[in-house]
Structure 1
Amino acid sequence: MNIQEQVLTASVSFQWFSIALDESNDIQDTAQVLIYIRGIDEKLQITEELLSMESLKDTVTGKDLYNSVINSLIRSRLSLDKLASITTDGAPSLIGKHCGLVTLMNDKIKEDFPSHSVLSFHCIIHQESLCRSSFKLKHGNECDEWVCDFAFAVDIMQKLNELNTKLQGKGLFAHELFADFKAIEGQFDLLSSPFACDVETAAEELQVELIDLQADNSLKRLFENKPLVEFYASLHSEKFKNLKNFARKMFVIFASTYICEQTFSILKVNKSKNRSLLTDSNLQSVLRISTSNLTPNFNKLQILNEKATSDRRLGCKSPSSSQMKGKEVTLSREDEEVQNYKSDSDPKKSS
């Protein structure tokens, strides 16, 4: 519970945030929707945590998933005008053209914030998996032809395995993985190489700041010696206001739904056939503790536990007046039954 409070506290200061979500059934055939959030504050401090686990007992349509996500964002006091992107595994209920989650989210955002738009991504790991499954090795009759096909397959599989390993893990940024995505390639190039990009191709509000940035040799040395997030965090907040806001928005984009898949593995271990009665609330707590990067405030938890224990003890020692009245009524009824029993069993009265 303390970790959840920390996530809610951090979410208040988010300048931008993105979500990654996926759905899978547990041992009791309940659809569990995992919603992960990556948010960034004014100082470019990034928080990546499990926002919530939503349990769907009946249908799992795009509308059901949409309601789950909206309710989760409302409980966390997150506004849709700060949502930068949505990353899914590409299932029809998530990216359906007419009633998929992403479509419904975009319709809601256009209605509430007409000038705001949200990027949506199909998890790159799932795309890589689809490419792998579509590859078929032909078994030719001639030995030489088969050997060539086999050698080609070995090379391709090696590249795919290297790519798959690279895509896995927490804290990966989209600009490191989506370098060949034409729709946003220019934005990722600007983010990762601000000193080499063409100023004229950048957005109008960024051009003046990029000129100032590229003319400063001290900032160029800083760029070469610091991680990218730290470099943007070190820029002057007023002089490079638009550039820093652009960086915040790009840094929160999820590269894949790997973190969801990893959490589903933890879910299957904890809610197995031997622990099938584990409640959804307790399961969510287990997943949150297992995946969180935050450290619980144990001192606060201990104080709360001691207070709860003290309240329970006081409640046992001094029951309320309503409880006392209930006991008196019970005792009076028991006394009446005893008296009736005695009178019925008295031989003098029976004779």
Structure 2
Amino acid sequence: MESMKGTTRGEDLYNQVSAVIERMKLPWSKLVNVTTDGSPNVTGKNVGLLRRIADKVKEENPDQDLIFLHCIIHQESLCKSVLQLNHVVNPVVKLVNFIRARGLQHRQFIAFLEETDVDHQDLLYHSRVRWLSLGKVLQRVWELKDDIIAFLELMGKSDEFPEVSDKNWLSDFAFAVDILSHMNELNVKLQGKDLFVHDMYKHVKAFISKLTLFSRQIANKTFAHFPTLAMQEEAPRNAKKYCKSLEDLHGEFSRRFSDFEKIEPSLQLVSCPLSQDPDTAPEELQLELIDLQSDAVLKEKFNSVKLNDFYASLNKATFPNLRNAAQKMLTLFGSTYVCEQTFSVMNANKSRHRSRLTDQHLSSILRIATTKITPDLDALAKLGDQQHCSH
């Protein structure tokens, strides 16, 4: 983690990355993968960070093919833009802000919910930087829909939100609640540390197949997997529109995840070596695959240990190429989840109230927050350094 001050052009980013790699004496020729959030200063074709890194690696090792990936979670979040839900989202956000942004009305609304004895005691604010925010906000407003309508009528403000009495709008609202609920389920599966790329891409492929199923069912006016939408009487009339939205979403997922699709054969080979046909595998791996699939002990071991532990246990002399292929695929980062999580920790600590926080202190805080190493507190206490007696 490096601190950057001033400009953050592709050249600046490259100089910083290059300095770290040189300082840590890492060989550029061993670089396999760079995963980014897709910002222009990183992905620029001519002077972006990725272009400069690719040129540097080619200088060191002309045979090395770098794998550039766009964060899978970020891609999934961007895909929902094709649904064109602004006509639903904007009134909902306006409604939430109307209730929550005014102190008196907010307190009155909470008191109203307490009297009606509902499951939820308040609305949620929408935050664009949070992955699950939009789906959760829409879900909460939908569940409190009847109470919100009653509250608006009580306050004499129902005329300011005509959408809540429009059946077509409510139908679109119900569709948005259901499809974003499905997307949030996918998002949660993609989050977390120590996830291999093939596991993450597996969930994305499954979701793309689900979209095909959803589209086909809604075209036949069947709403089995859209329970909120199924309760709306206008749903069958709008089925064609929802079917088109799902088809557009399917196309956007297929387009955005094309970079993962390119490496899918290699991912399949590493994640499921026992079921791979040696004839379709790269030539240097064919004989090793046959040896692996013919060894009953290794087959049993494959099913009982973690994938990275299994490949680490393979004999270097017997399976050199298979080990190298596994190293390349298992070291890929499918998302920038760890980076985003670290940014959150940094924002929580780097506040205007901590005016004496230096780069070195902040780096130490982030290192402690992200490490898996458990400190030996007993040993540290025995050192006796900087003991402060209470006084």
Q: TM-score, normalised by structure 1?
A: 0.66
The equivalences for 1:43-82 within 5 A come to 53-82=1-30
Flag structure 2 segments of 5+ consecutive residues without an equivalent. 89-162, 206-259, 387-391
Determine which of 277, 281, 285 is the counterpart of 1:198: 277
Letter in structure 2 aligned against 1:218: V
Determine which of 179, 185, 194 is the counterpart of 1:171: 194
Flag structure 1 segments of 5+ consecutive residues without an equivalent. 1-52, 309-351
Deviations 1:24-62 (A, max 9, x none): xxxxxxxxxxxxxxxxxxxxxxxxxxxxx2222221100
Q: Distance in 2 between matches of 1:220 and 1:143?
A: 60
Name the CA shift for 1:110/1:302 in 2 (closer, same or farther; >3 Å): farther
Look up the match of 1:330: none
Name the CA shift for 1:247/1:77 in 2 (closer, same or farther; >3 Å): same
Look up the match of 2:175: 152
Letter in structure 2 aligned against 1:207: Q
- TM-fit CA distance, 1:152: 3.4
Indicate the SS of the match to 2:261: coil
Determine which of 32, 44, 53 is the counterpart of 1:105: 53
- TM-fit CA distance, 1:294: 2.4
- TM-fit CA distance, 1:155: 3.0
Indicate the SS of the match to 1:269: helix
Q: Distance in 1 between matches of 2:72 and 2:274?
A: 28
Deviations 1:254-277 (A, max 9, x none): 110011111111111111010133
RMSD after superposition: 2.8
My pick for the range that moved more, 216-225 or 204-213, is 216-225
Letter in structure 1 aligned against 2:181: Q
Aligned sequence identity (%): 50
Q: Answer yes or no: is 1:273 the counterpart of 2:373.
A: no
Q: Distance in 2 between matches of 1:292 and 1:112?
A: 31
Look up the match of 1:241: 320
Q: Answer yes or no: is 1:182 the counterpart of 2:261.
A: yes
Kept in 1, the 8 Å contact 2:31–2:57? The answer is: no
Q: Answer yes or no: is 1:287 the counterpart of 2:366.
A: yes
Q: Distance in 2 between matches of 1:204 and 1:144?
A: 61
Name the CA shift for 1:193/1:294 in 2 (closer, same or farther; >3 Å): same
Deviations 1:312-331 (A, max 9, x none): xxxxxxxxxxxxxxxxxxxx
Name the CA shift for 1:302/1:105 in 2 (closer, same or farther; >3 Å): farther
Name the CA shift for 1:238/1:83 in 2 (closer, same or farther; >3 Å): same
- TM-fit CA distance, 1:296: 5.1
Q: Distance in 2 between matches of 1:166 and 1:211?
A: 34
Indicate the SS of the match to 2:55: helix
Larger radius of gyration: 1
Look up the match of 2:184: 161
Q: Distance in 2 between matches of 1:296 and 1:118?
A: 37
Name the CA shift for 1:154/1:195 in 2 (closer, same or farther; >3 Å): same
Kept in 1, the 8 Å contact 2:346–2:366? The answer is: yes
- TM-fit CA distance, 1:148: 5.1
Q: Distance in 2 between matches of 1:131 and 1:82?
A: 33
Indicate the SS of the match to 1:274: coil
Q: Distance in 2 between matches of 1:73 and 1:296?
A: 27
Q: Distance in 1 between matches of 2:326 and 2:39?
A: 29
- TM-fit CA distance, 1:64: 0.3
Q: TM-score, normalised by structure 2?
A: 0.60
Q: Answer yes or no: is 1:95 the counterpart of 2:70.
A: no
Q: Distance in 2 between matches of 1:161 and 1:77?
A: 41
Q: Distance in 1 between matches of 2:197 and 2:375?
A: 29
Q: Answer yes or no: is 1:217 the counterpart of 2:296.
A: yes
Indicate the SS of the match to 2:262: coil
Determine which of 67, 84, 91 is the counterpart of 1:136: 84
Letter in structure 1 aligned against 2:194: G
Look up the match of 1:345: none
Determine which of 307, 326, 338 is the counterpart of 1:259: 338
Look up the match of 2:231: none
- TM-fit CA distance, 1:146: 4.8
Q: Which has the higher helix share?
A: 2
Indicate the SS of the match to 2:343: helix
Determine which of 301, 304, 311 is the counterpart of 1:232: 311
Deviations 1:190-247 (A, max 9, x none): 1111011121222211111001111222322222222212222222221111111111
Q: Distance in 1 between matches of 2:77 and 2:173?
A: 20
Q: Distance in 2 between matches of 1:67 and 1:300?
A: 40
Q: Which has the higher strand share?
A: 1
Indicate the SS of the match to 1:54: coil
Deviations 1:286-308 (A, max 9, x none): 111111112457799789996x9
Letter in structure 1 aligned against 2:68: S
Aligned residues: 256
